[in-house]
Amino acid sequence: MRTMIEPAREIPVIDDHAVIVVGGGTAGMVAAVAAARNGAKVLLLERSGFLGGNIATQLLEHSAGWFDAGGAPIVGGLPEELVRRLMAAGASPGHVRDDTGYTRYRVPVNHEAFKSVVTAWVAEAGVTVRLFTPVCAVLRDTRAVSGVIVENKSGRTAYTARVLVDCSGDADAAALAGCPMLSKPDDDVQPISLLFKIGGIDYPRLLDYVAESATHFKLGVPVEQLRGEPYVNLWGFGPELRRAFADKVLSFERNELHFAGTVSQSDAIINLTRHAANGTSAEQLAEAEIALRRQVLEGLRFFRRYVPGCAAVFLSASAASVGVRETRRILGLYELTDDDIRSGRNFDDAIALGGFPMDSHDPRGSSLDATEHVRQAYGIPYRALIPREPDGILVAGRCISAERRALASARITGTCMAMGQAAGTAAALAAAGNHSTRTLDITWLRATLLAQGAILRH
Ligand SMILES: Cc1cc2nc3c(=O)[nH]c(=O)nc-3n(C[C@H](O)[C@H](O)[C@H](O)COP(=O)(O)OP(=O)(O)OC[C@H]3O[C@@H](n4cnc5c(N)ncnc54)[C@H](O)[C@@H]3O)c2cc1C
């Protein structure tokens, strides 16, 4: 590959902050509010034009991970405050039953209202928000990070901070800071998908068909209980998908899809598409976007031709862009293991709990048969949020230090938000007392989190 030397240039330093959060997504919006509520001057940098991350961009079927397999709550504090706020704004019904039996409860959201509610919540906490602002370099010396360089419509500028919290999903800031990574660019990671929404569904007709063909679905409740209900949740359509593949209506083989109805009882979000790609390669992301947009149109034809009650459906929305499940993960002071999750292990330095199944999608397979249910909640240790080096940087969300199947559970949004609260709180405490993020008093951090509603014991 040809290379060149980029000329050095002088750039303005815009402001100094106690805490900078990189990425205003699932973990980052909560991390920013947590840091601000704990007294820090906080800057939140987001590369897209809105907050909310994957929940907002991807039309997620629902936010999950809030309860353990027995139905006990495992996420509280700021994430739960956000759920209450969404409910008050009519943007979510709160925790509703999971009709498929996959998890106990889930939180469907109206994605458009979600963006507005989250933006107001973050602004009211006193966080300075810079949208359309990707972080493109991290300032550091041999010991610790000290700020970031961003490049946006205003040009290239710098911001300094005592502590950085990387909630970019892809560990962008950690990678730019030179933190060691667990993952390699050519790892066989989970596939990229693009969710879409269909409107014009005749639900009574569709549910008659589900009742007649119950073996095609994973039903957690009798079909009669679904009639007239909003948020109908269906896993299945295997025989229909196989026929469509044999007929060449679908160019990709699938054994199941996820259908998540909304409050309207005439539309549903569809999780069907998949493409194997590295989500940190710009080239592969573009290829994924092209391939998945084609799959969306095939999916629409599939519903019209093979699913009773869906003959007249239309595409009412699609994700803003492709959704990435798995990319870079830091090598932290602790690596959360698959066995930690299987055994429901807790830790003295646990700062959040998880309990969602290990939801591992095979990039080339046709089903979700690799899903492994988690019998009891497990702890996420603070050490999994701390890169081996340098000091002054924490991560939260799907880029924590974890084995791949462990991450397949911990990456779920409820758990990411709980980690966000922990990382933001830790950053504020470290910044205020001029403490190292690596040796922060864990008793103090846990006591602060518990006092602010977090759930750390099961
Ligand atoms: C297709 C799909 C379906 C899913 N379904 C569900 C589901 O039904 N329920 C569920 O709970 N979870 C689901 N998940 C998992 C879940 O959405 C993610 O694992 C979770 O949202 C990750 O949270 P995060 O905060 O780490 O990342 P994100 O929510 O993606 O947030 C990262 C943020 O950082 C920003 N960013 C990235 N790089 C930079 C940069 N350099 N500078 C500034 N900003 C940057 C991004 O724009 C984004 O806003 C799904 C995931 C996918 C891909």
Q: How far is CA 210 from CA 193, 214, 230, in A?
A: 25, 5, 16
- In the reported structure, the alpha carbon of residue 313 is separated from the centroid of ligand 1 by a whole-number distance in angstroms of 28
Q: Which residue's CA lies nearest to atom 19 of ligand 1?
A: 411
State the number of CA atoms in the 13 A half-sphere of 193 facing the CB: 25
SS3 225: helix
Mean pLDDT for the chain? Answer: 96
Among 60, 111, 132, which residue has the most ligand 1 atoms within 8 Å of its CB, making it the best to mutate? 60
Domain definitions of the chain by residue range? 13-188+326-451, 196-318
Residue 37: both structure tokens together: 């509520």
- In the reported structure, the alpha carbon of residue 50 is separated from the centroid of ligand 1 by a whole-number distance in angstroms of 13
CA 329 to chain centre: 14
Share of the chain above pLDDT 70, in %: 99
In this structure, the chain runs to a length of 458
Among 21, 22, 26, 194, which residue has the most ligand 1 atoms within 8 Å of its CB, making it the best to mutate? 26
- Predicted local confidence at residue 81, as pLDDT: 98
Torsion of CA 163, 331, 333, 175, to 10 degrees: -10
- In the reported structure, the alpha carbon of residue 98 is separated from the centroid of ligand 1 by a whole-number distance in angstroms of 22
Q: What is the pLDDT of residues 146-191, one digit of tens each?
A: 999 999 999 999 999 999 999 999 999 999 999 999 987 778 899 9
- Predicted local confidence at residue 457, as pLDDT: 85
Place 366 in a pLDDT band, splitting at 50, 70 and 90. low
Q: From the CB of 63, is ligand 1 less than 6 Å away?
A: yes
Among 168, 231, 257, 295, which residue has the most ligand 1 atoms within 8 Å of its CB, making it the best to mutate? 168
Q: From the CB of 115, is ligand 1 less than 6 Å away?
A: no
Residue 278: both structure tokens together: 């590295």
Contact 96, 263 (CB under 8 A): no
Number of other residues whose CB lies within 10 A of the CB of residue 12: 10
- Predicted local confidence at residue 369, as pLDDT: 59
pTM over 0.95: yes
Q: Does domain 13-188+326-451 have CATH number 3.50.50.60?
A: yes
* Strand ranges in 153-274 using DSSP code E only, listed in sequence order: 155-166, 196-199, 233-236, 257-261, 268-271
Q: From the CB of 416, is ligand 1 less than 6 Å away?
A: yes
- Give the burial string for 249-275 (b: 16+ CB within 10 Å, else e): bbebebbbbbbbbbeeeebbbbbbbbb
pLDDT for 326 beyond 80: yes
